[in-house]
DNA sequence: TTAAATTGTTACGTACCATAACAATATGCA
DNA sequence: TGCATATTGTTATGGTACGTAACAATTTAA
């Protein structure tokens, strides 16, 4: 069941041991309460911070499975679009084709995805979830749901919906 | 005045030449309209997409100056907290101290920031904007404002405020 | 005074991703 | 039909960002 695991360490930042505010240096200039000033009004800054936190939580919850955000997205897209090609997947994920190769290599090693030859075009593969991939995805989905709830703890249902809508507008291509 | 520039290329993704939908392969399975399915309902996915777009725009607008999002944040924080230490900056940016070293190295080479020795503590430096750094920051701010407007084109003032508020909630530490 | 902590730094490793070039295959068109 | 062109997956290469670990210099605390 857990063919996963590999060498998936990674835990991103969170270097502060315990909220130590560097009081010792406060005699100097402006150390005591560092102001983020104009930055807090910038979408990009707010996005980065939010994404950092969300991804951290995702890693913490799912790296034991060998699953990263990109790998989960890949699984979900293949599940929703069985037989999809690598190029098509690259476009959907908005990454280069070469990146998909590595992604699928890994997922194949984890026995979650298979490349199946397709007679209609001998250059390309049809990507499918393996049987194990399907059951793993179910399990992973439950984890993701819990992660999602944790990350959205400060939002009610309506707010979350709104946030997704606004993010979609900002993220809309072109 | 423009000691900047260096080797700042970089333009991130946007590999699709012109919206080609891979119709040719449509006979097979589900190629025609790839569905993102469950992913569109996930905060992390929406965040990633939005951030990718916003950062792309930022790079496009400011890489000629040698300025990246991280470098701009650094300049803004130093400007708002003159004399700040590298460690304090690291905590504020939420990155490792070693990362700040590189960041400041670069900014120092660009003549935008200076490390000034401090008698009270011979281990640390007080970071300051140089004269050139201050004028550059003004210029950069104007660029950033334009970038910000472009990125938020689909949001009215109220929506943007709301979005920032929600993002702050999601991004709130712990 | 001595042990522990902090600061900036370097070395190192890794994740991620783009670009460019390629061979095999497919398609379009004269 | 035949040939130029495009597409697919792949590899090689390189860059960027960032963390961890170890260190010397210095400061703080006991």
Contacts of B59 in chain A (CB under 8 A): none
- Residues 114-153 of chain A whose Cβ lies under 8 A from any Cβ of chain B: 118, 120-121, 124, 126, 141, 144, 148, 151-152
For residue B136, what are the domain limits? 42-171
Q: What is the DSSP letter of A23?
A: G
Query: Which value, to the nearest 10 degrees, does the dihedral of the CA atoms of residues B61, B66, B72, B78 take?
Result: -150
Residue B128's closest chain A neighbor by CA? Answer: A29
Name the residue facing A121 among B25, B124, B155 (closest C-beta): B25
Is the CB of residue A24 inside 7 Å of nucleic acid strand C? yes
Angle value at C-alpha B8, between B15 and B108, nearest 5 degrees: 150
Assigned domain for B28 exists: no
b/e sequence A17-38, b meaning 16+ C-beta within 10 Å: eeeeeeeebeebbbbeebebeb
- Quote the CA–CA distance of A172 and A159 in Å, as a whole number: 20
Assigned domain for A54 exists: yes
Q: What is the pLDDT of residue B65?
A: 81
The total domain count for chain A is: 1
Residue A55's closest chain B neighbor by CA? Answer: B44
Q: Which of B2-11, B87-96, B106-115 comes out lowest in average pLDDT?
A: B2-11
Assigned domain for B140 exists: yes
Assigned domain for B126 exists: yes
A84 interfaces chain B, CB cutoff of 8 Å:
yes
The Cα of A53 is separated from the nearest Cα of chain B by a number of Å equal to 6
Helix, strand, coil percentages, rounded to 5, for chain A: 55, 5, 35
Residue B37's closest chain A neighbor by CA? Answer: A80
Q: What is the pLDDT of residue B113?
A: 94
pLDDT at B68 over 50: yes
Nucleotide nearest residue B95, measured CA to C1': D18
Name the residue facing A37 among B52, B76, B89 (closest C-beta): B76
Is the CB of residue B49 inside 7 Å of nucleic acid strand C? no
Assigned domain for A145 exists: yes
Task: Yes or no: say if B29 and A83 are a contact pair by the CB < 8 Å rule.
Answer: yes
Structure tokens at A1: 């069941």
Assigned domain for B73 exists: yes
Q: Per-residue pLDDT tens, chain A, 174 aa: give them.
A: 222 222 233 333 333 332 333 333 333 333 456 777 788 899 999 999 999 999 999 998 998 888 999 999 999 999 999 999 999 999 999 999 999 999 999 999 999 999 999 988 999 999 999 999 999 999 999 999 999 999 999 999 999 999 999 999 998 865
Q: What is the pLDDT of residue B37?
A: 80
- Residues 20-39 of chain A whose Cβ lies under 8 A from any Cβ of chain B: 22, 25, 27-31, 34-39
Structure tokens at B155: 């949001």
Question: Can you tell me the mean pLDDT for B136-146?
Answer: 93
Assigned domain for B150 exists: yes
Return the CATH number at A93: 1.10.10.10
Is the CB of residue A49 inside 7 Å of nucleic acid strand D? no
Bridge partner list, B128:
B114
Is the CB of residue B74 inside 7 Å of nucleic acid strand C? no
């Amino acid at each position: 069941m857990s063919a996963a695991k590999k060498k998936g360490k990674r835990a991103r930042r969170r270097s502060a041991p315990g909220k130590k505010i560097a009081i010792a240096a406060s005699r100097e200039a402006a150390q005591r309460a560092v102001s983020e000033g104009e930055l807090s009004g910038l979408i990009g800054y707010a996005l980065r911070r939010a994404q950092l936190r969300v991804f951290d939580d995702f890693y913490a919850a799912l790296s034991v499975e060998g699953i990263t955000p990109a790998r989960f997205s890949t699984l979900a897209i293949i599940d929703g679009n069985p037989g999809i090609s690598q190029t098509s997947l690259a476009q959907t994920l908005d990454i280069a084709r070469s990146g998909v190769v590595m992604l699928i290599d890994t997922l194949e090693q984890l026995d979650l995805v298979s490349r199946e030859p397709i007679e209609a075009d001998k250059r390309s593969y049809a990507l499918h979830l393996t049987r194990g991939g399907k059951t793993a995805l179910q399990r992973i989905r439950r984890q993701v749901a819990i992660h999602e709830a944790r990350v959205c703890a400060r939002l009610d249902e309506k707010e979350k919906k709104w946030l997704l809508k606004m993010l979609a507008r900002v993220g809309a291509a072109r």
